[in-house]
Amino acid sequence: MTDFLQQLEEIVGKGGLLGSEQVSIRNKSYWDASPMKARALVRPKTTEQVCAVLKLCHQHKINVVTHGGLTGTVQGTLSGKADLVLSMERLNAIEEIDPQGRTATVQAGVVLQTLQENVKQHDLMFPLDLGARGSCTIGGNIATNAGGVNVIRYGMMRELVLGLEVVLADGTLISSMNRMLKNNAGYDLKQLFVGTEGTLGIVTRAIVKLKELPLSANSALVAVNEFSQVVDLLKFVDKSLGGQLTSYELMWRNYYQAVTEAGWHESPLPRNYPYYVVLEAQGADPQADKEHFQLMMEAAMEKGLIEDAVLPKSEAERDKVWAIREDFEALLSLRPQFIYDVSLPIKDMDHYIQTLEQRLSERWSQCPFYALGHIGDGNLHFFVSPQNDDSADLHHQVNQIIYEPLEQCGGSVSAEHGIGLEKKAYLSLSRNAEEIALMKSVKNLFDPFNLLNPGKIF
């Protein structure tokens, strides 16, 4: 095997290969500080090097686990001692920004926030946005079909990808670097790789859509008493704003209270309301949009859709409101800590949450449960922390409580984070046997030796 590592070093250069001892001092994910395990970690700088690395691994039948920003929550990048980790950290160039065509050509290791900041210099925006923007990579966003806070207006990552360059398990390069919004020339092959968590091929480059940079942004933090108000307000705001609604984020009281405890985030509103919504609209006329937004908020108040609200008057105040939604570090000190990402029809959410609260409290006398989500697109997130229970199957017990009710309402065990290792036992709750069989057939076609991120998804 020393010969294999020598050949790897010849491909990527001495600085491009880290041995098992060097790998062990690196974190394996944002959520898990325990040492990474791998035979070695390779850091290619070009697509050609990725092709050569995968061709060599194919010859030696070496499993390959791809790493991006390591912000995923489903153990999708977990590697073993015999695996080779392929990190995209040196494939991090923004190759081109085309203001006329409103596209960007980027390598897979580009950090999301870096792309956002660079295209902003051209009065453009890349609309995908999520709390991990400073760490997650475009390749990882593609591999997991990332969503975030702007999905209600701009869609998930799948809708923002025009073209892809992908390396298959045997080192074959598939280049489908399309730039057009419309291209119906046969199968849209790039869609085969979006959301497949590195199990069918490794994304090395992409062409993504850009949008014109909005000239206005109006936000509000709203408190309501009934879930029905949350739903009615969403419909009212979306209709009143005529397509300008960009974000509609819901926080249940338990979450809001936890992140606004003394010493964390200041609460702009009383902390005893059952529901809090952060909503934002973006437009092209700062003065008119501001007036329209304020009139819309006043009308919603008159209709009884809002109990209380604050409208940020500056960018600093806006950032403070969004920090309440995005900065949940205060919750992560609880142990054990299980994080969930599900989706379901909005009409079923209230009953679903009540069911979870009841079942969790019946099973554990102390079980902090924090709920929030991108309700505009049906996506909820939970933090669950059952106390005083050291059962070996504790995580499985919580999983059953969270996931089983989703089957009845046609929900999904994963809205935007993928399946990885953590959720694969529950995939059948969201996909039928025929769908899973077809997925496995596609996997076998692209990766017959099961070398790419093996064991993930199914």
Q: In this structure, are 258 and 323 located in the same domain?
A: yes
- Residue 449 domain-assigned? no
Residue 442: CB atoms within 10 A of its CB come to 13
Judgement on whether residues 314 and 249 belong to the same structural domain of the protein: yes
Q: Which range marks the domain in which residue 22 is found?
A: 2-90
pLDDT attached to residue 27: 77
**CB neighbours of residue 183 within 10 Å:** 12
The pTM (predicted TM-score) of the whole model is 0.94
* Structural domain ending residue among the three candidates 90, 110, 131: 90
| Range scoring the smallest mean pLDDT among 30-44, 77-91, 113-127, 179-193 | 30-44
Residue 450 lies in a domain: no
- Whether the per-residue pLDDT at 328 is higher than 80: the answer is yes
pLDDT of residue 26: 84
> What does the pLDDT read at residue 135?
94
Which tokens go with 375?
A: 């309700």
CATH number at residue 53: 3.30.43.10
Last residue of a domain, one of 329, 356, 391: 329
Spatial separation of the C-alpha atoms in residues 38 and 308, rounded to whole Å: 53
User: Do 148 and 175 contact (CB within 8 A), yes or no?
Assistant: no
Confidence band (pLDDT; 50, 70, 90) for 323? very high
**Domain co-membership, 309 together with 390:** no
Shared-domain flag, residues 325 and 348: no
Instruction: Verify that 116 and 197 share a domain, yes or no.
Output: yes
State whether 98 and 207 are in the same domain. Answer: yes
Whether the per-residue pLDDT at 424 is higher than 60: the answer is: yes
Tell me, what CATH number does 384's domain have? 3.30.70.2740
Q: Which of 20-34, 231-245, 248-262, 399-413 is predicted with the least confidence, judged by mean pLDDT?
A: 20-34
The answer on pLDDT for 1 being more than 60 is: no
CATH number of residue 183's parent domain: 3.30.465.10
Q: In terms of Cα–Cα distance, which of 413, 458, 408, 416 is closest to 437?
A: 458
**Average pLDDT score over residue span 327-349:** 90
Structural domain total, the chain: 4
Chain segment 37-51, per-residue pLDDT in tens: 999 999 999 999 999
Strand 216-224 to strand 308-310: parallel, antiparallel, or no bridges (unpaired)? antiparallel
Q: Are residues 126 and 19 in the same domain?
A: no
Do 400 and 421 fall into the same domain?
yes
Distance CA 219, CA 211 (A): 20
Residues 286 and 298 in one domain: yes
The letter for the amino acid at 418 is: G
Q: Is residue 100 domain-shared with residue 205, that is, in the same domain?
A: yes
Average pLDDT over residues 232-255: 96
pLDDT in tens, 140-175: 999 999 999 999 999 999 999 999 999 999 999 999
Q: 231 and 312 share a domain?
A: yes
Q: How confident is the model at residue 443 (pLDDT cuts 50, 70, 90)?
A: very high
Mean pLDDT of 94-117: 98
Residue 453 lies in a domain: no
**The CATH number of the domain where 258 resides is what?**
3.30.70.2190
The answer to whether residue 34 sits within a structural domain is yes
pLDDT mean across residues, the chain: 95
Instruction: Look at the block and give the residue holding tokens 């009615």.
Output: 232
Asked whether residue 204 carries a pLDDT value surpassing 80, the answer given is: yes
What lies within 8 Å, CB to CB, of 372 at 6+ separation is 249, 250, 251, 252, 255, 325, 380, 381
Give Cβ neighbours of residue 206 (< 8 Å, ≥ 6 apart).
Answer: 105, 106, 108, 138, 139, 142, 161, 163, 164, 165
Indicate the pLDDT class of residue 329, thresholds 50, 70 and 90.
Answer: confident
C-alpha to C-alpha distances, 208 to 347, 379, 403, 417, nearest whole angstrom: 33, 23, 33, 20
Instruction: Provide mean pLDDT across the span 403-424.
Output: 94
Q: Identity (one letter) of the amino acid at 135?
A: S
Query: Per the domain annotation, does 455 fall within a domain?
Result: no
Asked if residue 454 is part of any domain, the answer here is: no
458 lies in some domain: no
**Is 118 among the domain residues?**
yes
Q: Is the pLDDT at 33 greater than 80, yes or no?
A: no
Tell which of 329, 353, 384 closes a domain. Answer: 329
pLDDT digits (tens, 9 = 90+) for 178-196: 999 999 999 999 999 999 9
Q: List the single range of 74-78, 216-220, 396-400 with lowest mean pLDDT.
A: 74-78
CB 413 within 8 A of CB 427: yes
In a shared domain, residues 172 and 252: no
